[in-house]
Structure 1
Amino acid sequence: MQIRMKLWVERDGEVIFGEGRQKLLEAVVKTGSLAGAARELSMSYRAAWGRLKASEKRLGFPLVERGSKGKRGLILTEAAHKIMKLYAELEQNTSGVLRKAEAAWPDNLDKEV
């Protein structure tokens, strides 16, 4: 048996960061562009752009900046790296709590209830 949970961070009821944004930024690092990241994640460029810009607006700082490779290349800002690290730590800590809860949950629930 497994216990599952989705995790994201909100401010004033609006998502500022979560697993989807984490994957999007990881894909930007891998591909060097937002278009490449969108393709990698099988999403439209418009959806990727919208999520990125929404997070930047809600956070109050940029997550990406133009790279030295030309107009289209993107790199993550230092702030983006920091928030990705914070989110990864949050996920790891939450996973530890879930594993403890799984261990305490009876495997034979139908006989325990």
Structure 2
Amino acid sequence: MRLHIWLENDQGTLIGLGRAMLLIKIRESGSLRKAAEELGISYRAAWGKVRQAQEYLGEELVRKNGKGYVLTEAGENLARGFMEWYDKVERFALDQAQDHFPWPVLPFTVKRSSPPQSNSAR
């Protein structure tokens, strides 16, 4: 089973699994280009997704830092919060699927990076 869930407003998509993973890859590599390559998307598409989410949220999610990028506190909180929420919804959906279908419903396994760790308040 693979869930496709995202948050959107009347302007469009704010965050989904792909954007959360993009933010995490940017944090890990310090590079938008490397993050895009690891996820198999173009630099232009990756930057467009980040820019669009920033415009919709009215907050900066990534910041240029020398030759690369770092996540802002808002970016860290958004990526971490989405991944925690996604994992909880996925576990609940898997449990519910067992009650509704006569065959085993297994999680779709994707090699994901761990969500950002932070003690700051959301």
Regarding TM over 0.5, the answer is: yes
Instruction: For structure 2, list consecutive stretches of 5 or more residues without a partner in the other structure.
Output: 104-122
8 Å contact kept, 2:17–2:83? no
Normalised to the residue count of structure 2, the TM-score between the two structures is: 0.77
- What is the aligned-residue identity percentage? 33
Deviates more, 1:79-88 or 1:51-60: 79-88
Q: Deviations over 1:25-83 (max 9, x none)?
A: 1111122111111111121111011111000000100111122xx2x211000011111
C-alpha change, 1:106 and 1:51, in structure 2 (3 Å) is closer
Find runs of 4+ consecutive structure 1 residues off by over 6 angstroms.
none
Give the letter for the 1:39 counterpart: E
Q: Deviations over 1:8-29 (max 9, x none)?
A: 0001151010011011111111
What secondary structure is seen at the aligned counterpart in 2 of 1:5? Answer: coil
Higher helix proportion: 1
CA RMSD, Structure 1 to Structure 2 (Å): 1.5
- The structure 2 residue matched to 1:49, chosen from 47, 50, 56, is 47
Instruction: For structure 1, list consecutive stretches of 5 or more residues without a partner in the other structure.
Output: 109-113
- Per the TM alignment, residue 92 of structure 1 is displaced from its structure 2 partner at its CA by 2.1
Q: Distance in 2 between matches of 1:7 and 1:46?
A: 23
Q: Which residue of 1 aligns with 2:109?
A: none
Q: Distance in 2 between matches of 1:106 and 1:23?
A: 30
Q: Distance in 2 between matches of 1:63 and 1:89?
A: 18
Q: Which residue of 2 aligns with 1:111?
A: none
Q: Distance in 2 between matches of 1:46 and 1:104?
A: 43
- The structure 1 residue matched to 2:56, chosen from 55, 58, 78, is 58
What secondary structure is seen at the aligned counterpart in 1 of 2:7? Answer: strand
